[in-house]
Amino acid sequence: MTILVTGGAGFIGANFVLDWLAAGGEPVVVLDKLTYAGNLDNLAALRGDPRLVFVHGDIGDAALVSGLLGRHAPRAVVHFAAESHVDRSIADPEAFIQTNVVGTYRLLNAALTHWQALPRPEAAAFRFLHVSTDEVYGSLAPDDPPFAETHPHQPNSPYSASKAASDHLARAWFHTYGLPVLTTNCSNNYGPFQFPEKLIPLIVRNALAGKTLPIYGDGGNVRDWIYVADHCAGVRRVLEAGRPGEIYNLGGNQEKTNLDVVRTVCARLDAVRPRADGRGYAEQIAFVKDRAGHDRRYGIDARKAERELGWRPAESFETGIEKTIAWYLGHAEWVEKVTSGAYRDWMTQQYGGTGA
């Protein structure tokens, strides 16, 4: 028995594979295109481990995917692969449509053909788990209840629109063809191996480098933050016991403004790696031009996953941030290696000469 994990060299996918194998899960076939966000170093701890097969390729390559499904006969596909950064989707949406929409369509189709040919017991046990985001639900007003699974999709960015499209495809492949699809919609993740273009690792890196800490707009935008290991545990639990055709929201129950997030990171760094001049890292905060169409608030109601599956996040924001900062401080070499080439070009395009 194996499982096929797409995007397993990215931030959440790599955490998932590491946790899965550490917990004694079946062997894993990772399919990853190794875009700027994919990094085989994330799986370095598994180098030489016969339980991991890495395949360099595109989820949109139907022949490749069909060949993998035929050769490895996985009992499940866990689909993380995506273009995932909102700012990049605003600057250049094309890759988001190709991977998140067309790629997911081709993957679903290949999985369907594979599933239809399986003998009955294997077909009944097969699962396609589609990993998605709370951003498909749109933006909440300050007093709105958090997103439940029944909330309409109201995506506002090219990224969230492409993910919403993929959620709809996943839903349709269940309803029309019967493919046993599960969908998870999770809130903002943070933790080890997150690419330093995303808020929390960007702030850690810039703080230590003495650069400005760029906060978009007034810093009042709210996100619900979840430690990545909690998300991975949720995905494992949904795969194990979720009902095909169902959506499960996963979230950290930790809604914070961006300004609060940055201040918390700064305070932790002040405690464990104080600035040489004795001043606080928060002095490096700079308010910069807002993101176009910036969603004001995301919040997740994850009570269904708790009620039906007994899943709930283990970390608070404070404990998760402690772990995350300890990891980044202990992995300066990883950060340096990923912050080369394409990443630097992107930073110049995004932040210009602000030194961010």
Single-letter code of the amino acid located at 87: D
Transcribe 210-240 into DSSP letters. Answer: T--EEEETTS--EEEEEEHHHHHHHHHHHHH
**How many Å apart are CA 210 and CA 266, to the nearest integer?**
12
Q: Which of 53, 344, 318 is nearest to 195 (CA)?
A: 344
- What part of residues 253-282 is at the interface with ligand TYD (CB under 6 A)? 258
Residue 228 interacting partner from ligand NAD, ligand TYD, none (CB closer than 5 to 8 Å by kind): none
Give which of 71, 70, 61, 85 is closest to 6, Cα–Cα: 61
Closest-by-Cβ residue to ligand NAD is 10
Residue of the chain from 188, 189, 212, 253 that contacts ligand TYD (CB under 6 A): 188
Q: How far is the CB of 164 from ligand TYD (least distance, A)?
A: 14
Contact predicate 167/136, CB 8 Å: yes
**Quick check: 343 binds ligand TYD (CB under 6 A)?**
no
- Among candidate residues 58, 83, 137, 159, the one labeled active-site is 159
Return the closest-CA partner of residue 97 out of 60, 66, 151, 129. Answer: 60
Q: Which is nearer to ligand TYD, 162 or 221 (CB)?
A: 221
Q: Shortest gap between Cβ of 283 and ligand NAD (angstroms)?
A: 28
83, 134, 224, 230: which is the annotated catalytic residue?
134
In the complex, minimum distance from the CB of residue 125 to ligand TYD, in angstroms, rounded to a whole number: 34
Tell me, residue by residue from 300 to 339, as one string, x for binding to ligand TYD by CB under 6 A and - for no binding: ----------------------------------------
Q: Tell me how far, at minimum, the Cβ of 147 lies from ligand NAD, in Å.
A: 12
CA–CA gap between residue 96 and residue 158 (Å, rounded): 7
Contact predicate 226/186, CB 8 Å? yes
221 in contact with ligand NAD (CB under 6 A): no
In the complex, what is the shortest distance from the CB of residue 209 to ligand NAD, in angstroms, rounded to a whole number?
A: 21
H or E element in which residue 185 lies: strand 181-186
Binding mask 204-243 for ligand TYD (x = CB under 6 A): ----------xxx----x-x--------------------
Rank residues 32 and 255 by Cβ distance to ligand NAD and give the closer one.
32
Residue 242 is encoded by which pair of tokens?
């979720």
* DSSP H stretches of helix in 243-314: 258-272, 303-309
**Sheet arrangement for strand 222-227:** 188-190, 222-227, 255-257
Q: What's the gap between Cα 87 and its chain centre?
A: 15
Pick 223 or 236: Cβ nearer ligand TYD: 223
The Cα angle at residue 200 between residues 199 and 206, in degrees rounded to 5 = 85
Which of 32, 58, 83, 135 is the catalytic position? 135
Give how many residues touch ligand TYD by CB under 6 A.
12
Q: Which sequence positions are flagged as catalytic?
A: 134-135, 159
Interface with ligand NAD by CB under 6 A: which residues? 6-7, 9-13, 31-35, 37-38, 58-60, 80-84, 99, 103, 131-133, 163, 186, 188-189, 195
Interface with ligand TYD by CB under 6 A: which residues? 86, 188, 198-199, 202, 214-216, 221, 223, 258, 291
